[in-house]
Amino acid sequence: MAQTERKYRSISKMRNTTKKINNISNLIVVITATLAIVFIALGAFTKNNIEPVYSYLANKSSNYEVLLKPNDFYDTETLPADRYYASKSVDKYIINFIYDFSASKKANLDYNYTITAEIVGTALLNDNQDREVWNKTIQILKNNANVYKDNFYINEQINIDYDYYNNLARLYEETYGISIKSILKVYFNISYNINLKSLKFEDKVVNDCIELDIDLNNTVTSANKNYDELTSEDIMTEIQNIKNNTIFYILGGIFVVISITIIIIKIKQNNKTPEQKYTHNINKILKYYKELIITVTNEPNVGDLKVMNINSLDDLIDVAEQNNSNIIHYEVIKNQKSNLYVIVNNYVYVYIITSEDLI
């Protein structure tokens, strides 16, 4: 008959748990002692701290959709971003440039931005390298200066007439009889000046860009993002003297106390008398298996039964479970030795517990 799922926790698991607890306590001692050394060293040797005077970050993104020419092939007038599109089906690229700037402190800053489109044409030359043979830049939008204190947010939408730029690239090929690969680079260029005079530092000028590259003069077109999505910097740093390192010494002292306390507890546990070890052992077994074990005050009479000595408590529990029997506990020598019995038909299975069998 297949053995049913075990109902009671095995003694080996208890031993493993005890070992894990010991290992964890050893690890805690190592960690707390290390932290104590680190904090005490910080208190003794750390004299200065470098902190940023002014920090900023800018989140950059570009979103777009494609406006289609009238056709009988698509059910919608627009297609979402990050796809490939038949070049002859595209009317416009509708692009949103987003620039979200924030700073750690208030400081007068002014910014302006432009949006430009640049056609870059390259040809494969005799050295088997693509070389730029033509470029043309067209300004799409120019924004006047704006003044802010600590943050600003720009969300600018433009329409790129794809047919215009695509036809211009094809016309160049036809006019000069050169086969070229053309890309339309759409730039959102922003420049801002951060006035840091109130913080007694020089002004900081930042030039940043969001670039979107669109394929031209191909049967299929797509747009690719060509920029880092985050611009950030710690503008300046200053040295600040730390006058009071008390906090480091307090933390170091706390970890020293924790380490010493754990070590003392472990020493006490390791120095237990045989009686204490036995008591700890038997009490733990009786607690974990209280539904299975019956304690008696008279030694069981097993004279007519065949005695089978068992080497492990796990095996004894298996015998009890398989035969739906209880385990009888009898303390042979007080605080020193106990016997555990399982009686099955003409057999009695015996497991002996002493102070040596620590869990």
- Decide if 27 is inside a domain: no
- Domain boundary (220, 241, 262) is at 241
- Domain boundary (217, 241, 265) is at 241
In the chain, how many domains are there? 2
Same domain? 102 vs 196: yes
Residue 66 token pair: 């494609």
DSSP 178-228: ---EEEEEEEEEEEEEE--GGGTS--EEEEEEEEEEEE-SSSEE-EEE-S-
- Decide if 323 is inside a domain: yes
- Decide if 3 is inside a domain: no
Same domain? 217 vs 313: no
pLDDT of res. 2: 35
For 62-98, the pLDDT digits (tens) are 999 999 999 999 999 999 999 999 999 999 999 999 9
For 12-61, the pLDDT digits (tens) are 555 555 556 667 767 777 787 787 677 666 666 666 566 788 899 999 99
- Decide if 2 is inside a domain: no
Same domain? 222 vs 104: yes
Same domain? 209 vs 283: no
Same domain? 165 vs 100: yes
Whether the predicted pLDDT of 195 surpasses 80: yes
For residues 180-191, give the mean pLDDT: 96
CB count within 10 Å of CB 75 equals 4
pLDDT of res. 268: 67
Surface-to-core class of residue 154, CB atoms within 10 Å of its CB (0-12 exposed, 13-18 middle, 19+ buried): middle
Decide which of 6 and 10 is more confident. Answer: 10
Same domain? 223 vs 308: no
Q: What are the strands of the beta sheet with 347-354, ordered from one edge?
A: 293-296, 327-333, 337-344, 347-354, 306-309
- Domain boundary (218, 241, 264) is at 241
- Decide if 12 is inside a domain: no
pLDDT confidence bin for 3, thresholds 50/70/90 = very low
pLDDT of res. 250: 76
Residue 340 token pair: 């555990």
Residue 82: which domain range?
51-241
Query: What three-state secondary structure class fits 29?
Result: helix
Tabulate helix, strand, coil % of the chain (nearest 5): 30, 45, 25
296-324 per-residue burial string, b: 16 or more CB within 10 A, e: under 16:
eeeeeeeeebeeeebeebeebbbbbbeee
Same domain? 90 vs 169: yes
Residue 73 token pair: 């092939």
- Decide if 318 is inside a domain: yes
Least confident interval from 69-73, 137-141, 319-323? 319-323
CB count within 10 Å of CB 246 equals 9
Same domain? 79 vs 218: yes
Same domain? 185 vs 303: no
For 243-295, the pLDDT digits (tens) are 556 776 677 778 778 878 877 776 766 666 778 778 888 888 888 888 888 88
